[in-house]
């Protein structure tokens, strides 16, 4: 399994109260699966996504991503692991406004031992893959929402991570842009073998995933299905 989660719990103190957004959650996902996480607000979707992405650390339980014991990594180790193995796609794109599309995409590559020409080639290829070669020198304020999200996807894949996590990637887009982003994610999963975990409220978006998981109060409300029984 690419993702193996056993009895994962995340809790934190908020004032005098102990909040537990995830409790004893277990799931598995094979390499290349496109997984959608659905559920009401506060159900723990984003918390689970952040744990899988190494943005946060669990309170207890096991979290293995491609044989990396992510739950046991220190903050510094997590930072390094993310830079190699994870691409994060945000609802509001989170592009750096003062950098061009090309420079935004190049950001993850600056952490790798690559020459300038290698970085250029890879960033160009990523922008080409998302269909934005002609917008490489444009800054985020000069792009539409759909184009910004494409740049964000190019940034997430440019360093060729095995895992892509997406938090409501179509939540801020119009229908047409949303469809093209979902098509792009599907292609990344099917044609490029990326494992994708996507949080969404939109059933249409979830429908493109191989499997949809529902969370409520920090727990899965339907048992994890195998890829064979995936929702198509």
Partner 1 sequence: MLPITYAIRNLFRDPSRLLQTVGGSALVVLLVIAAAALTRGMEGVLEATGSAQNVILVGAGSEESIERSEVHLDAESAAATAVSGLSSPLGITAASGEILYMAPLTIAGGHEEPALLRGVTEKALLVHTRVRVIEGAYPSPGQVMVGRLMYRRFGVEALDLAPGRTIAFGKTEFTISGIFEAPGTVLESEVWFDRNDLATLTQRDTLSAVYLRLDDAEFDDVHVFTLQRNDLELSAIREDKYYEKLSSFYAPIRAMTWVTAALVAAGAIFGGLNTLYAAFASRIREMATLQSIGYTRTALLLSLVQESLLATLTGTLLAFVLAMFFLDGLSIPLSLGTFTMELTPGIILTGLGTGLALGTFGTLPPALRCLKPALPVALRSS
Query: Quick check: helix, strand or coil at residue 144?
Result: coil
14-22: long-range contacts, CB 8 A cutoff, minimum separation 24: 20/218, 21/47, 21/218, 22/47, 22/48, 22/51, 22/58, 22/218, 22/219
Binding-site member from 67, 76, 117, 228 for partner 1 (CB under 8 A): 76
Q: What is the Cα–Cα distance from 96 to 65, expressed in whole angstroms?
A: 28
Residues in the chain: 232
Q: Interface with partner 1 includes 111 (CB under 8 A)?
A: yes
Name the helix (H) or strand (E) containing 34: strand 34-38
Binding-site member from 6, 80, 120, 138 for partner 1 (CB under 8 A): 80
Binding-site member from 5, 8, 36, 53 for partner 1 (CB under 8 A): 53
Binding-site member from 20, 32, 56, 231 for partner 1 (CB under 8 A): 56
Q: Interface with partner 1 includes 98 (CB under 8 A)?
A: yes
Question: What minimum distance in Å lies between the beta carbon of 228 and partner 1?
Answer: 33
Question: What minimum distance in Å lies between the beta carbon of 219 and partner 1?
Answer: 19
String marking each residue 139-178 x if it binds partner 1 according to CB under 8 A? ----------------x-----------------------
Binding-site member from 11, 24, 83, 180 for partner 1 (CB under 8 A): 83
Question: What minimum distance in Å lies between the beta carbon of 109 and partner 1?
Answer: 10
Q: What is the Cα–Cα distance from 94 to 219, expressed in whole angstroms?
A: 29
Q: Are 68 and 78 a contacting pair, CB within 8 Å?
A: no
Q: Which is nearer to partner 1, 2 or 81 (CB)?
A: 81
Q: What is the Cα–Cα distance from 63 to 226, expressed in whole angstroms?
A: 18
Q: Which is nearer to partner 1, 83 or 219 (CB)?
A: 83
Question: What minimum distance in Å lies between the beta carbon of 108 and partner 1?
Answer: 5
Among candidate residues 103, 6, 16, the one with its CA nearest the CA of residue 51: 6
Q: What is the Cα–Cα distance from 40 to 44, expressed in whole angstroms?
A: 9
Q: Which two tokens stand for residue 220?
A: 């899965």
Q: What is the Cα–Cα distance from 135 to 124, expressed in whole angstroms?
A: 11
Interface residue list for partner 1 (CB under 8 A) = 46-47, 50, 53, 55-56, 76, 79-80, 82-84, 88, 90, 94, 96-99, 103, 107-108, 110-111, 155
């Amino acid at each position: 399994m690419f993702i193996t989660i056993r009895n994962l719990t995340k809790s934190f103190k908020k004032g005098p109260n102990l909040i537990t957004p995830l409790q004893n959650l277990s799931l598995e996902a094979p390499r290349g699966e496109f997984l959608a996480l659905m559920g009401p607000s506060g159900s723990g979707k984003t918390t689970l996504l952040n744990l899988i992405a190494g943005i946060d650390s669990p309170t207890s339980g096991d979290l293995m991503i491609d044989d990396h014991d992510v739950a046991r990594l220190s903050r510094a180790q997590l930072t390094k692991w993310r830079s190699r193995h994870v691409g994060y796609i945000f609802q509001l794109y989170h592009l750096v406004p003062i950098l061009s599309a090309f420079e935004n995409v190049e950001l993850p590559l600056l952490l790798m031992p690559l020459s300038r020409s290698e970085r250029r080639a890879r960033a160009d290829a990523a922008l080409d893959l998302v269909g934005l070669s002609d917008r490489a020198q444009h800054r985020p304020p000069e792009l539409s929402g759909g184009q910004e999200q494409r740049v964000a996807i190019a940034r997430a894949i440019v360093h060729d991570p095995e895992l892509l996590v997406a938090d409501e990637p179509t939540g801020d887009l119009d229908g047409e842009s949303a469809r093209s982003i979902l098509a792009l994610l599907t292609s990344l999963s099917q044609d490029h073998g990326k494992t994708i975990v996507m949080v969404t409220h939109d059933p249409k978006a979830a429908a493109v995933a191989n499997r949809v998981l529902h969370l409520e109060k920090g727990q899965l409300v339907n048992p994890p299905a195998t890829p064979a029984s995936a929702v198509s």
